[in-house]
Amino acid sequence: MKPQNHNYNDFPLKIFISPPYKRCPFCGVKSFGICGINSDSYWRRCYRCGKNGNVIKLPGLKKKIIYLDQMAISNMMNSIRLATDKKIKSKIIPEWKIMFEKLDRLVKLQLIICPHSLIHEDESIVTPVFKDLRQMYEHLANGSAFYDIETIIRYQLYVAFMKWLKKDFEEIQVYDIVQGDLDGWQDRIRISINSNRSIADYVEELEKIRNVTSSNLVAVFNRWKTEKTKNFMNWFDEERSAYGPTYWRIYLRSVLANDSASAVNFVLSERSVLIFQLEDILRRSGIATEEEIILKLTDFFRSDNVKEIPYLTIYSMLSAVIANQSAHGGRTKPPNQGTSNDLSFISAFVPYCDALFIDNAFRENIKQGDKFLKLGISNKFYSVNNIKAFFKYLDGIEVNASKAHMDKVKEVYGNNWGQPYLSMYN
């Protein structure tokens, strides 16, 4: 196949054609450069004669999925941002710049991808450097982003429901819960689109949610401190057992709500979408009456299948660790909004990531919980305390890349493409 040729004599075609250049098969000049890169192919065009070459197929990729928490995004930004406050700059350890250099290089070498999430946006938008933070996490994500956590929970509950009914289903893959072409070859150009929504209104609403969440966490923390007779497994089982019935009860309350605002939120919610899906499956299975459907769904949300969804297992494990610390470990500092965000993204994203970089405290929490449950997820996590191990992990990704892959990267992007973008904020 061959892209259509056009007459580009009216403007400087070289602007749109990138190195590495080859000798043009049409005019003989070394001006045959890269004109476009798709996820699985690329093509050349001559900036002298304007003629196109054939589309060249690219080999398939299998990139590592690495999630970086907000702390890592912020510190990497500050490590290369010239406008960073001197007091902040003085506290930035050299490893953050090294970390950015390694991650950026591996992204450009088509070996890893670092999807961002709504957690990044929510934690960035309340800061005065929102645009710079967004530039960092979007740069390393290269157009990929995790779906909202409630959406991931919906997918997992759907799979659990199909298991409960003993129906055929497909297991959730990372491609199902991440937007963007994870394993595609990236173009040189990335477009970022600003939202038209009012940031001030969004921040105000976000602060309200944060305040409510923080208050609820403090209340739970104060209860945990008094539960001296409980142990890790007590809290773990309690959290898992409560989730399904609570999820179903919240849905039923939403159905019965009278005010219009609640009705709109109900219709647009992930919870509502899930229940409509499950009701449809039941009807197609021969369960016709509303009473039968409600009874069937009540049974499902009380079942062990709900308890076993990955999100709930990990969330309950981490909650039980914090509860155990509160009652028996001498923890005096209550969880805050940051704790809530960490609990949520770790629980939602772990099954779909090859590695996650998080804060020291939560990495220790995961190690403690994993000792009880033997989930085998501790080795996925890195933090500042073992940042050298993270660097070794990243270096290993490049070392283990095949020569054929590295040669193809040079063919498409040139020899210097892997240089880190340290001038991002200049």
CA angle at 67 for the pair 417 and 324, rounded to the nearest 5°: 155
Q: Using alpha carbons, list the distances in angstroms from residue 263 to 55, 151, 259, 267.
A: 51, 19, 6, 6
Query: Is-contact 169 162, C-beta < 8 A?
Result: yes
Q: Which two tokens stand for residue 155?
A: 């997918």
Residue 116 forms beta bridges with which residues? 145
- pLDDT value of position 195: 57
Measure the CA–CA gap between 149 and 318, rounded to whole angstroms: 17
Please tell me the pTM assigned to this model: 0.91
Query: Is-contact 170 133, C-beta < 8 A?
Result: no
- pLDDT value of position 8: 45
Measure the CA–CA gap between 35 and 73, rounded to whole angstroms: 32
CB atoms < 10 A from the CB of 6, how many?
11
Measure the CA–CA gap between 109 and 125, rounded to whole angstroms: 30
Q: Where are the domains of the chain?
A: 13-57, 62-426
Measure the CA–CA gap between 84 and 132, rounded to whole angstroms: 11
Measure the CA–CA gap between 105 and 103, rounded to whole angstroms: 5
- The predicted-structure confidence for 349-362, as pLDDT tens digits, reads as follows 999 999 999 999 99
Indicate left, alpha or beta for 286 from its phi (over 0: left) and psi (-120 to 50: alpha).
left
Centroid of chain to Cα 243: 23
> Burial, 328: exposed, middle or buried (Cβ in 10 Å; 0-12, 13-18, 19+)?
middle
- pLDDT value of position 198: 62
Measure the CA–CA gap between 81 and 86, rounded to whole angstroms: 11
Q: Using alpha carbons, list the distances in angstroms from residue 368 to 221, 292, 374.
A: 18, 43, 10
Measure the CA–CA gap between 48 and 27, rounded to whole angstroms: 8
What residue has token string 């949520």? 344
User: φ, ψ for residue 265 (rounded to 5)?
Assistant: -60, -35
- pLDDT value of position 4: 47
Residue 382 forms beta bridges with which residues? 357
Number of helices followed by number of strands (H, E) in the chain? 18, 10
Running along the chain, 426 residues long, what does each successive block of 10 average in pLDDT?
48 82 95 95 94 96 98 96 81 95 98 97 92 96 96 97 95 94 90 63 73 81 92 96 95 74 65 94 92 96 97 97 92 82 95 97 96 96 98 98 97 94 90
CA angle at 210 for the pair 74 and 358, rounded to the nearest 5°: 35
Q: Which amino acid is at 413?
A: Y
Query: Is-contact 61 175, C-beta < 8 A?
Result: no
Among 170, 157, 172, smallest CA distance to 309 is for: 157
- The predicted-structure confidence for 32-78, as pLDDT tens digits, reads as follows 999 999 999 999 999 999 999 999 999 999 999 999 999 999 999 99
Say whether 33 sits in a helix, a strand or coil: strand
Residue 169 forms beta bridges with which residues? none
